[in-house]
Structure 1
Amino acid sequence: MSLNARAIAAIGAVVVVGAATVGTSVAIASDQTAHISHQATLTVGNSSTVAEPLCWNNGSPITEDLQQACQDKATQALKDGSLPTSDVVSSDSVGVGVSPNVAKSGWWAFTNGGSSSSGGRTSLASYAKGPTWSGAQQANKVLNASGTTLVTVVEGDKNSDNPIAVWYFQLKTQDS
């Protein structure tokens, strides 16, 4: 028994409609009815934390005045514990991912921890344009001694003085 062109087209239409239905159902079930274009994800071991940027100027560069307000906002969020937080042990691996729109602009990520030879700042992702994942590093190399390490993700062109978006995450060191 052979399939004719009309039967093949009908099967194709059913597959397309079925895929669209499943995709829409998944979006509705996860309460995601719109594409979110600016997210960063901190991955620690087998868990991930997704966040919107703490500082964002609707896709335009963040001016110097807004950068100061952003730093003040981040300092306050750190004090009141409202930054996205992940528990970490020294044997975990730590990595950062960004959405494709962020990767298209360019991005980098770093922590305020690490060896004293790096000035206490460790790169999780050097400036990259295109890739969406930093790769994973051992936590014991990126943590600071205080038990709380700040992870900063920045979207923007490395040749510009002003970032487009900034995310902050907090790593809380747990006993191994």
Structure 2
Amino acid sequence: MSLNSRVIAALGAVVVVGAGTVGGSIAYASGQTEINSHRATLTVGNSSITANPLCWNGGSPITEDMQQKCQDDAAQALKDGTLPTRDVTASDRLGVGVSPNVAKSGWWAFTNGGSTSQGGRYSLFSYAQGPTFSGTQQAGKALNASGKTVVTVVEGDKNSDNPIAVWYFQLNTQTS
């Protein structure tokens, strides 16, 4: 017995709808929290990785004490190799995206790469409210010489000393 294309399409639709229903039910049943609406995505070439913030205070500004702990946690995660990570070559294109809730608050992104005239920091996206994607740029400009570059994404008002959320990603430089 052979199936015609309409039967195959109908079966595919049932599978997609069923998977969406199960996935949505699981998220709802697991007590989905507001943190899931605060995500950042790092795009390298044709691949991307999405993460929850490493530092988060339930949507309230992160206090100075929490910021220090956040930086310590990020340094430890970098040392342990547990930051969300992507391999990158100098010719790859980099971009950063955020969820609409983050874009509404305002955000910016930078790396610990770049020239000394830039303070050893390279801006991937200057502060803005509204846009959800930085656009892409050549990775070679944003990488540091150590072979491990940290991308930092910050949500919050640029005039405030206390961010709302902070994400960290690690880029591992590959030669080709």
Q: Give me the TM-score of the superposition, normalised by structure 2.
A: 0.83
Name the structure 2 match of 1:94: 94
Name the structure 2 match of 1:60: 60
Q: Secondary structure at the match of 1:158?
A: coil
State the Cα deviation string for residues 93-120 of structure 1 (Å, max 9, x = none): 0010000000000000000001222121
The aligned length equals 156
Name the structure 2 match of 1:74: 74
Larger radius of gyration: 1
Q: Give the Å deviation of 1:32.
A: 4.5
Q: Secondary structure at the match of 2:37?
A: coil
Q: Give the Å deviation of 1:159.
A: 1.2
- Compute the RMSD of aligned alpha carbons: 1.9
Q: Give the Å deviation of 1:153.
A: 0.2
Identify if the C-alpha distance between structure 1 residues 99 and 78 changes in structure 2 by more than 3 Å, giving closer, same or farther: same
Q: Give the Å deviation of 1:148.
A: 0.3
State the Cα deviation string for residues 144-163 of structure 1 (Å, max 9, x = none): 01100000000001111100
Q: Secondary structure at the match of 1:172?
A: strand
Q: Give me the TM-score of the superposition, normalised by structure 1.
A: 0.83
Q: Secondary structure at the match of 1:161?
A: coil
Taking the aligned partners of 2:108 and 2:72, their CA distance within structure 1 comes to: 21
Aligned residues with identical type, % of pairs: 72
Are 2:103 and 1:109 aligned?
no
The 5 A counterparts of 1:1-176 are 22=17, 25-26=19-20, 28-29=22-23, 32-33=27-28, 34=32, 36-176=36-176
State the Cα deviation string for residues 44-86 of structure 1 (Å, max 9, x = none): 0000000000000000000001001101111110110000000
Taking the aligned partners of 1:171 and 1:27, their CA distance within structure 2 comes to: 35
